[in-house]
Each structure stands twice: as structure tokens, then as C-alpha cells.
Amino acid sequence: MPTKRLEKICLICCRGGSKTIKNKNIKKFSGKPLIHRSLENILKSKIFDRIILSTDSKKIANSVRNFDIEIPGLRPKNLSTSSSHQFDTHKFIFNKLNINDKNSIVCVYNNNPFIKPNLIKKSYELYKKNKFKGLVVDSAKVDGDYIALKQYKFEKKIFYLNKNKFLKLNLNRQTLENYFVNIYNLRWGKPSLLENFMKYKKQIIKNNNKYLILKKSENFDLDDIQDWKIAEAVFEKYEN
């Protein structure tokens, strides 16, 4: 009996109440609303059978009406606050649309214009090569001395998180190990792994996952207006 084909679904979650950047998801980024740039990238990849946008905002929903995507009604307000957990939104959408491990694989795509069609394709090929097991997560190389050895926090005084490693730190960066961090602007997995954060975390520490390593020019946070301006300048430089 032939194996049933799994639908390839892209899920984008965009709430309307961004605090640090007003109307972030529909704010113009290099001349186009941010969400438009993301949807163009997703559609140009030609990977997905279904593209689903989850939002609580009528403004966001109305701004993307001309795109060939699904908007399964507005998201409940309890899933749209600054303290809401995105994995609860995943679960809500999966349950509402009967998306499960038997019929689908899912790519959760954060609204980020640097995740271009070629990266979406590469991430899918990684997942396919891994026989759709585990997770595929985007990651980036970081400077080992800054991230792993020099971290500290203030508790009335400076407290180094890795004091012993810091004391052994060599100023020659060439002698340092390579370190990587997960970015989470793009992640593939079965619905059961993407609807429960604890399951996701338990899976991510296993050895059967794959990682899409991003270049510096492909990895920018958009957490505040300074991030936005820097990212926009870099985007325009590489876009043109």
C-alpha cells in the first residue's frame, strides 16, 4: 500500500500588538510591508501546499488579502498578548485545521525578510534528506569568546556565568572553539513537535536534527527600531 503524501504547510504567526515597533508586521521595510516581503519569499520558494497566516489583527489580515494564503479567522485574544506562548498558537491552528503527524509536515516561518526562497528550499532539502525525522532549525555561528566565555549579569556586582573559562580565556581568537546558536526564524517539524514547547526542547537536544547555518547577512533580529534601521540598510545593500 503506497505511503500517503504529507502536505507541506507553512505557518506564519503575526500578532498586531508589537510594543517595541508599532505595527511591526505591516510596517514598510525597504518600501514594502514586512509581511509582504516574507510572503513573497515563501511563495517564490514553490515548496508549500498550504500557507497559513495566524493573526489577531484585522489590519494585518486585510493587508495580505491579495496573496494566495489561508487566514483561518482571527486568533483569540488570549493567544495574542505579549506573554502568549507561540507554541499554544501552533496547537490552536493545528487543532482547528486538523493538521497532524499523519497528514502534514510544517515549517514555522517568522516574519523576517532575510529568509529568502533559496534558504527555504535548502531547509526543506535538509528535512527531506533526513527522511522528515527530528527538526530542521536555522542557526548561526557566534564568536565563542563573547557568547560562551564573557557573559555576565548584574546582581549588585558583575557575576560571570563561566568564571573558570573566563580566567583561562586566550586573547587569540583563532584558538577558540566555534559556537552556534539556534535562531528560530525558520523551523521544520512534525505538528506534534511544534505544538508543545517541552517536546520541542527535548527533541532539539537530540542528535537526529539538522541545522541550516545562516551567514551574517542572512540573520538579523528586528526587535527594536535600531535593529530595523540597521537591517533595512543591510537588506538594501545585498538586495541591490
**How many whole angstroms separate alpha carbon 125 and alpha carbon 117?**
12
| Residue 200: predicted pLDDT | 94
Whether the model pTM is above 0.75:
yes
Domain count, the chain: 1
Examine residue 161 and state whether it is found in any structural domain, yes or no. no
Place of cell 528535512: 127
Domain hosting residue 75, numbered range: 7-140+180-235
Within a domain: residue 135? yes
204 located within any domain:
yes
Q: pLDDT band for position 151 (50/70/90)? A: low
Judge whether 130 lies within some domain: yes
pLDDT tens digits for 165-175? 777 766 666 66
CB 94 within 8 A of CB 9: no
Least confident range of 20-24, 71-75, 169-173, 231-235:
169-173
Q: Tell me how many degrees the CA angle 83-88-90 measures, rounded to the nearest 5.
A: 125
- Kindly indicate the confidence band of residue 44, based on its pLDDT and cuts at 50, 70 and 90: very high
- CB within 8 A of 142, min separation 6: which ones? 179, 180, 181
**C-alpha cell belonging to residue 29:** 521595510
Taking the chain, what is the end-to-end CA distance rounded to the nearest angstrom?
50
Residue 190 forms part of a structural domain: yes
Question: What CATH number does the domain containing 136 carry?
Answer: 3.90.550.10
Mean pLDDT of the chain: 87
Lowest mean pLDDT among 17-21, 83-87, 113-117: 17-21
Is position 96 within any domain?
Answer: yes
pLDDT band at 221 (very low <50, low <70, confident <90, very high): confident
C-alpha R_g of the chain: 19
Least confident of 16-30, 61-75, 149-163: 149-163
Amino acid code (one letter) for 94: F
Asked whether residue 172 is assigned to any structural domain, the reply reads no
